[in-house]
Amino acid sequence: MNIVLLGAPGAGKGTQAAKLVAEEGMCHISTGDILRQAVKDQTPLGIKAKEYMDAGDLVPDELIIDLMRERIQQPDTAKGVILDGFPRTTTQAVALDTMLSNLDRPLDAALLIDVDPEVIVKRLSSRRMCKACGAIGTAADGPTCASCGGEMYQRDDDNEDTVRNRLEVYETSTSPLVDYYRGCNLLVTIDGDRDPDEVYADVKRSLGM
Ligand code: AMP
């Protein structure tokens, strides 16, 4: 099964993807996670991507499409993927269609996790991430990761100004994908402003799991 997770930053795409990985063993590809690792490792991609990410802007399409073209051909994707944070523009969505059709793997669904923007600003300013394993938590969980004991930190782009810019970028560049996938008959909208387990129950139901 090949799935695109759509939704504004902080809607809960990563949280839902982690649940699908844990329960269903699906292969999770997050372009944000790949880019953050590239920035940390100071690879040529990371060096180019950093300034866009720090400002909350999108990394240029050609860099992301090259990255995904390579990633999606790796063997762990053969049984299906959950794409989290990709595509984020119509150009990327069209490129994804070509990549999947070249691999003869159709897209099964585009799940939109729908959350009000003001809820997102509040959520993201208290979001914390584990430096070691990438688990997602909140400031209230304390400084240590509940999964691996690693150090929890606040992402550079989770400050309020950058979050507001990321939401504007989402509205302008990414929200047109809702119509794109509706037009392909693949769109499923899920109310993301609820407890993550309730959202997950809907995610599974919509995927027939
Ligand atoms: P995320 O973890 O998905 O919120 O992504 C963090 C940042 O990485 C975004 O604000 C963008 O700067 C960059 N990024 C991630 N995925 C993409 C993408 N598909 N296209 C362009 N930029 C991306």
Mean pLDDT of the 99-107 span:
95
pTM: 0.91
Q: Residues 73, 81, 35, CA angle at the centre, nearest 5°?
A: 70
pLDDT of res. 58: 97
Mean pLDDT of the region 155-173: 93
Give yes or no: 155 in active site. Answer: yes
DSSP-assigned states of every residue in 156-186: GGGSHHHHHHHHHHIIIIITHHHHHHHHTT-
13 labelled catalytic: yes
What DSSP string describes 89-132?
A: SHHHHHHHHHHHHHTT----EEEEEE--HHHHHHHHHTEEEETT
Q: Which of 13-27, 115-129, 148-162, 186-200 has the highest mean pLDDT?
A: 186-200
User: Which residues form the pocket of ligand 1, taking CB atoms under 6 Å from any ligand atom?
Assistant: 9, 31-32, 35, 52-53, 56-59, 64, 85-86, 88, 92, 157, 166
Of 19, 36, 88, 123, which residue is the catalytic one?
A: 88
Distance 22 CA to ligand 1 centre (A): 23
Grade residue 96 by pLDDT with cuts at 50, 70 and 90.
Answer: very high
Q: How confident is the model at residue 25 (pLDDT cuts 50, 70, 90)?
A: confident
Task: Give the mean model confidence (pLDDT) for residues 177-191.
Answer: 98
Q: What is the pLDDT of residue 79?
A: 86
Q: How many angstroms does the Cα of residue 46 sit away from the middle of ligand 1?
A: 12
How far apart CA 197 and CA 190 sit, in angstroms, is 13
Name which residue sits closest to atom 10 of ligand 1, judged by CA.
56
Q: Does pLDDT of 45 surpass 90? A: yes
CA distance 51 to 22: 33
Residue range 65-86: mean pLDDT, rounded: 96
Residue 64, pLDDT above cutoff 90? yes
| Better-predicted residue by pLDDT, 160 or 191 | 191
Q: With pLDDT > 90 as the criterion, what percentage of the chain qualifies? A: 91
